[in-house]
Chains A and B, each alone.
Chain A
């Protein structure tokens, strides 16, 4: 279905083609031999859809500096469901996870040359506890055991505390990031971290300038290929693509944390054909249909099953030019326990229709709510509306202003809605369990069985036992048809032809730890 915006886009392109039809054609460059040691530009410019909030704010600094300027004590390896050391060398779990004692790496330096030690961790914990919502709900206190050992006491005893320490929000910063220095109640000045880059300049809503943090590069034994890393904030997705094409930026990258500032999926193929380098990574974030499972008709598992069987996921992903993957499992294969659970969501409209007929529900009217601000999701809902009509379910689609949407959602005045589980990065994958946790308000689906399993997954430290619970959990969700997985989302970076970086370097730390977000430490922009 063509939306008004799509129509205008095609008109734009059509008109531009007409206008430029008579323009002198740029000669096609003849291929030349690539020099063995390319000369790189001193500056790498990235187009990004969101301000980095380097002066802080209610929710702290932006995700970008959290990822690129700061580091965490531990990192999470989704594939192996394991925690790997980062700033912490090792850790001990005490009191069923209520206390975690971290032994820190020695010789690590902040970008200003000061030493990373237990004081910095204690300061960060206390700062987060006062200034960050996740910090205030997580931490009780932090005690310095010695210069390189710190003990963190959490509010609750659970495995999930370790997972939380791998979240971007828990990134460690220098006590010099605030004024007066080291005061958790002090005024936030600029983030100073141990990560790949340091902040050089910042103009709110316009740009942020970073420089390589020589201590970080030294630690990993690599050398940066640029001296300045400029991030230009370009809100409009089409303008961002055109800024790339005009050469004003060397690359553009997605921001997907609770927003939709990403490169339009239907332009990725086109850009690739034009010679741009498209780096795409499937992320552990699944878009689903969530039911109002507490009231009729979707309190009936058979009704939910019928919807599940009626949704053709291959058609859904066509909306995104097949750039996203259809979800035939609840989560991406990399997630622990998914393969072992052996659960597959199938497409079988005949069976779905038969169920509806058996239930005597042919022609039933249900309503589906969607947030007006999520244009892609409106298209998905319209497609689902068509697919369900084929099995005899008439969906009344309500496209609502964000506030009205939230109000209806919270009041339970809907039958179906789109929702997502998991997160953009592998560490947020664990947050998916909040979506099935009985104590949470914004849940996707909860039953006694899944709620119980959810609680066990969040508290169990034994990896093998946790995996078993996960397998059971995936099976339970499938058997109860709690939600209908639709597609797995992606993160992308599109770079010009003269940008040198491999896929491995873009999505891995120099020590080989895989990373869900794009990393830019290895980028080199060749002189043309």
Chain B
């Protein structure tokens, strides 16, 4: 087991390096001279040759790319992403300021989506090809197809403008949370519902389920204890990986509902060309994904010994 964990840890090193290279390169991938971006973002004036030269030296942009990258990486692993070009604050402070709002929105959506996705997925699988299954599938299809900003506006129109039940925007009490969560959950649960359905259907077609049924076990026990338990492993993996949405998954929802989270911070930073913030968010998001993936893989191996291939 330890060997398996060690191997997985080693395997993520190149992935993390790849993420760091991509995050760092964002500054250079975007067209234009980074020094000019800084002058424009910082001073909002036309960049002169002298200013550009001064900034290049000040920010170390005149050094070889590899040196710049290693310098950036050594600071990034310590949580130091430098200062925002536009806000005059450390990038990490900006991210931490927005994190609570993003976490609140994400975890509420996550909990609700999982509960409903499980429920609808199980119902859909049990009643395969019947009316309720068709309903659940259409519901999922709509969830996948309808853009979040469109649904958000529709919900505002109904619940805020017409019925005057809920606020149209803002961050604060539970009433502010309802519409953004509803909007995001709709698409969030749609794919998961289909995934639960297909995993459960696959499990239900296995020999051990036939055996369980042949033993005369009640269908409830067959589905929940035998089929669902076995189907849960990929479902948990899939659900866990959704945690990466915490950082940037809710961009449209945050913009529509003026929710002061990390998604809107990313959008603002991209528009303002505030690259340190963009780099940090991309990097953290990627690292979070890899770490969650690793934890899930290890748990997976703990739950199912067949996974430990090389052990």
Contacts and interface: CB of A to CB of B under 8 A. Distances in A.
B167 interface: yes
B107 interface: no
A206 B153 contact: no
B207 interface: no
Given A206-B260, A403-B273, A8 B156 contact: no
Given A8-B150, A20-B162, A133-B43, A57 B87 contact: yes
B266 to A, nearest CB: 13
Given A8-B150, A16-B157, A402-B273, A58 B86 contact: yes
B147 A8 contact: yes
Contacts of A232: 169-170, 258
A11 interface: yes
B156 A239 contact: yes
Interface in A377-412: 401-404, 406-407, 410
A235 B149 CA distance: 13
A35 interface: no
Contacts of B260: 204-206
A58 B31 contact: no
Chain A, interface size: which category?
A: 35 or more
A238 interface: yes
A248 B150 contact: no
B41 A58 contact: yes
A239 B168 contact: yes
A3 to B, nearest CB: 14
Interface string B35-74: 0110001111111100000000000000000000000000
A236 interface: yes
Interface residues of B, number: 43
Contact of A406 (B32, B147, B154): B32
Most buried by B among A58, A133, A238, A441: A58
A12 B150 contact: yes
A15 B169 contact: no
A23 interface: yes
Given A12-B150, A58-B85, A242 B97 contact: no
Nearest to A243: B168
B134 interface: no
A442 interface: yes
B256 interface: yes
Contacts of A406: 31-32
Given A58-B86, A59-B44, A248-B167, A242 B156 contact: yes
Contacts of A247: 164
4 shortest interchain CB distances as A-B pairs? A133-B43, A246-B160, A404-B31, A205-B260
Interface of B: 30-32, 36-37, 41-48, 85-88, 97, 147, 149-150, 153-154, 156-158, 160-162, 164, 167-171, 255-258, 260, 264, 271, 273
Given A19-B158, A236-B258, A248-B169, 9 more contacts: A16-B158, A58-B86, A58-B88, A59-B44, A234-B169, A235-B264, A243-B169, A402-B273, A403-B32
